[in-house]
Structure 1
Amino acid sequence: MQVTYWAEHAWLDTNVEPGVALEVTDGRITAVRKGAEAPPPGAVVLRGLTIPGLANAHSHAFHRALRGTVQVGSGTFWTWREVMYQVASRLTPETYFSLARAVYAEMALAGITAVGEFHYLHHAPGGVAYSDPNAMGEALIAAAADAGIRITLLDTAYLSSGFGEAPNKHQLRFSDGTAEAWAERASALKSSGHALIGAAIHSVRAVPAAQLSTVAQWAEARRAPLHVHLSEQTAENDACRAAHGCTPTRLLADHGVLGPRTTGVHNTHLTNEDIALLGSSVTGTCMCPTTERDLADGIGPAATLQREGSPLSLGSDSHAVIDLLEEARAMELDERLRTRARGHWTAAALLRAATEDGHAALGWHDAGRLEPGAPADFATVALDSVRTAGPVPRLAAETAVFAATAADVRHTVVAGRHVVRDGMHTLIPDVARALADSIAALRS
């Protein structure tokens, strides 16, 4: 299939260009033509600023059901976790498919074309395997296909509730018992045109140290992305020091987990040595600012990590909101609060974290750019809404990053297919209803 999209403005590398024709054949960009002052005959018109598709590098789809219910009253990450367990206990492959399909459609409406699903809800209540041991993971892969976006299923090893402790009753659904059993089950998952299979270590408290290398070697053998929650909470750091005499980062380094295909999620409470280990190994950092502030986790040293060599990506994690533009500006604005100085990242640098580097963290190494040969995945942000109207076009990237929201995404194209057109999902006509119904089913 051949189609030409005409972008009123397009973000190419670090510059905003007016009048850009994007020629697409069989889901890939075959030509990028600047200086097209008017749409070529038959072209699909994209009014606004067209950017590469956004990569949501860290998602727990079922957490979307918590939105609006966990913002009431006081508490900590650990009290929030108890509410999360209650939602997890109600999910089946069928209800998880319905919920994830709606969540991924919400992501498409926000300009997200690829999601990294950090997936640990593997088994039936009590830890009993389904007849298809990967029924829950397959439900997520199918949900992404129905919603029209790409997915990297980061199948997660989650084996213990703490250092030397067996899984609690809630976590039995998460555990395969051993890393070897996890690897055997995960090996049955297969990549497809819209889906890649990666791995994850839930955290150093959830995978015994002696089994960390099993997960790392599984990912290395497949050249697959490997993600891990890292130093999100000071309590985890304290427990790791008590158990092993070192920080979580050092423990991961000593067991071969760090490296260019590995991404640490949050990386919030780090020592200078931790930062040096992550940077020198080119281990990535996925920041999730809306979740990190929603759960009162803290502000991680993202700017320092990047300077030391750790590539940055962004995720919406618990989906307090699904808005990668908000995640991008929040990283800059949180750093301003932490340092009382402005200007740590340009709009172009923040967009790179949300696009090219996010896709790389998920194993989609040829995505996240508007150039020939790349997948035809892009999104268009309106420049005439009440939030974005006014600035001159050459500052369109700054306007998108620092003023626009997910509600300003007008079009989303994935593999050349118009998934969102004029703010409406073309595959799931009423995403709000799909979300409401799938969440209500978990409360009945």
Structure 2
Amino acid sequence: MTVDLLAPAVRTAQGWTENARLQITNGKFVEIGGAGGSPLPGAVIPAMPNLHSHAFQRAIAGITEVRSPSGGDFWTWRQAMYGSLDRLTPDDVRVIATQLYIEMAKAGYARVCEFHYLHHDADGRPYANPAAMAEALIEAAAIAGIGLTLVPVLYMASGFGDRPAEPAQRRFLHIPDSYAALIEGLRGRVDLGIGFHSLRAVTPEAMNAVLDIDVALPVHIHIAEQVKEVDDCLTWSGARPVEWLLRHFPVDERWCLVHATHLTDAETRDLAASGATVAICPTTEANLGDGFFDTESYFAHGGRWGIGSDSHVSLDPREELRLLEYGRRLRLQRRALSATEALPNVGAWLWTEAASATAPTGVDTGRIAPGARADFIVLDERNPQIAAMSGDARLDALVFVNAGAAPVRELWVGGERIVAEARHPHEETSAREFAQTVARLRAAI
């Protein structure tokens, strides 16, 4: 299938090109530039990959914002999250994920890495089809039209040293053999990654066994999100989580470390040097009180990073990027920090850096160039803040001027238009099913 388009302006890695032809064949860009093509209604920029998602958690967004008698922290939130799981079926997950992925698409995310650990039924038994939950996510992504990198997650224990899992974790559990069977059953049906929930939830031996399944797939892991996790790792091993991981495993460009919030200077330096990507999830990390990632040192060392919406209190990549930059400003009492001499526009630097963080997806996306997947946004220039700008000032306005819904007029995924006139063709049906499903689930909590 070939698509021939003409954009009034296109943001490539080299900068802006005016009146550029976008030639797309079989879902990939073939050529950028030249004359001709069907006109697009606005400037074109790379779409954003979402590096970290727990789809089912969208159903509890907003219901954990109540102070408990003892206050609240990540661990009390986790118990509330566990309490929401008992009645979730594969069909419920399909409905929730469909609405989630549609909202992501309308906000400008073209691909999502789904960190999937809700595997089994409410009693912890594998479904007759062990991939039933995974297939619900695949179906949801197909309905929404969003690109999916499915990252099934190995989860074995409740704490460091292979502590027995808690009853509330029974739906998550696999051993390496059953996990490998799940991966093999999904191969060829969806883009895949390998996932470890966290160092506290797996054993080193299991990690080695799972890494041998496929040496080419991206590898995702939660790490150093909470101070308690760091302290428990020190007690178990005498090392901090990222320190331990870098010492015992060949962490490289395949790896995506999610959060990595609590690092020493040495860990930050060594992690940046490894070539791994950190998935920073600012709105979730703020919501859960995790802490703030050490952007100053990591960026100074040239570390790779991208963004994720994680627990989905926000589905707007602009908000993730704003919070990342504003957190830096509040800490340092300075402005315009996320920029370089070569790229002085802060919004442009943030957007293009995060969009290009695609190694964790296993797919060449996030850039407008020959050979890359044709995932892109057509900006809505009916938005007066966007219409008033040119060049990289468009991206500054996109990121920093919050005037309601994201100014995404069209989203194209793999050369197909998924969002048109800021609407998704399934949004009304999906919203109705989501509201009914979430109302039923919340009534039962």
CA distance in 2, matches of 1:191, 1:409: 31
Describe the SS at the equivalent of 1:56: strand
Alignment gaps of 5+ in structure 2: 340-346
Give TM-score, length-normalised by structure 2: 0.91
1:425 counterpart residue number: 424
Q: Which moved more, 1:426-435 or 1:366-375?
A: 426-435
Q: What is the SS of the residue equivalent to 1:184? A: helix
The answer to whether structure 1 residue 98 and structure 2 residue 92 are counterparts is: no
C-alpha spacing 1:103/1:394, structure 2 compared with 1 (3 Å): closer
Match of 2:159 among 148, 162, 173: 162
User: 1:402-437: CA deviations, max 9, x gaps?
Assistant: 225653211101111111001110344444324323
Distance across 1 between alignment mates of 2:21 and 2:440: 44
Q: Would the alpha carbon gap of residues 401 and 17 (structure 1) be closer, same or farther in structure 2, given more than 3 Å must change?
A: farther
CA distance in 2, matches of 1:187, 1:272: 39
Tell me which residue corresponds to 1:363: 362
Q: Which residue of 1 aligns with 2:12?
A: 12
Q: Report the AA paired with residue 109 of structure 1.
A: K
Q: Displacement of 1:350 after TM fit?
A: 1.3
SS in 1 for 2:123: helix
User: Contact (CA 8 Å) 2:255, 2:277: kept in 1 or not?
Assistant: yes
Cα shift readout 1:342-371 (whole Å, capped 9, x = no counterpart): 3332333312333121x222111x211112
Gaps of 5+ in 1: none
Change (3 A) 1:257 1:213: farther
More displaced 10-residue stretch of structure 1: 385-394 or 256-265: 385-394
Q: Which amino acid aligns with 2:28?
A: R
TM-score by length of 1: 0.91
Aligned counterparts of 2:140 and 2:305: Cα–Cα separation in 1:
27
What amino acid sits opposite 1:397 in the alignment? L
User: Counterpart of 2:29 in 1: which secondary structure?
Assistant: strand
**In terms of mean alpha carbon deviation, does 288-297 or 278-287 score higher?**
278-287
Q: Using the alignment, how far apart are the partners of 1:116 and 1:331 within structure 2?
A: 20
Report the CA distance shift for 1:303/1:263 in structure 2 as closer, same or farther (over 3 A).
Answer: farther
Which residue of 1 is the match for residue 414 of structure 2? 415
Other-structure match for 1:51: 45
Question: Aligned pair 1:150/2:147, yes or no?
Answer: yes
| CA separation of 1:432 and 1:303: change in aligned 2, threshold 3 A | farther
Deviations 1:294-353 (A, max 9, x none): 111111113422333431111011110101122122212212222223333233331233
RMSD: 2.1
Where do residues 258-407 of structure 1 align in structure 2 (5 Å cutoff)?
A: 258-346=251-339, 347-357=347-357, 359-364=358-363, 366-385=364-383, 388=386, 390-403=388-401, 406-407=405-406
Partner deviation per Cα, 1:26-77 (whole Å, 9 max, x = no partner): 322222126x6xxx46x14232x32112100000001111122122335111
User: For the structure 1 residues 204 and 396, does the alpha-carbon distance in structure 2 shift closer, same or farther, using more than 3 Å as the test?
Assistant: same
Structure 2: how far apart are the matches of 1:394 and 1:112?
20
Q: Is the 8 A contact 2:154 2:176 kept in 1?
A: yes
Aligned partners of 2:392 and 2:132: how far apart in 1?
A: 48
Of residues 286-295 and 254-263 in structure 1, the stretch that sits farther from structure 2 once superposed is: 254-263
Measured against aligned partners, the alpha-carbon deviations of 1:240-268 in whole angstroms (never above 9, x if no partner) come to 11111110112212331522100111110
Q: Deviations along 1:207-247, whole A, 9 cap, x unmatched?
A: 123433223333xx340011111110000000111111110
How many residue pairs match? The answer is 431
1:184: how far off?
3.2
Identity among equivalent pairs (%): 36
Structure-2 residue corresponding to 1:205: 200
Match of residue 66 from structure 2: 72
SS of 1:101's equivalent in the other structure is helix
Note if contact 1:285-1:312 (Cα within 8 Å) is conserved in structure 2: yes
2:442 aligns with 443
- Residue 392 of structure 1 and its aligned partner are, at CA, apart by 4.2
Aligned to 1:230: 223
Other structure's SS at 1:410 match: strand
Distance apart, 1:386 and its partner CA: 5.5
2:95–2:430 Cα contact (<8 Å) kept: no
Q: Distance in 1 between matches of 2:207 and 2:127?
A: 25
Cα 1:29–1:154 shift into 2, 3 Å? same
Structure 1: distance between partners of 2:370 and 2:437: 39
Structure 2 match to 1:118: 115
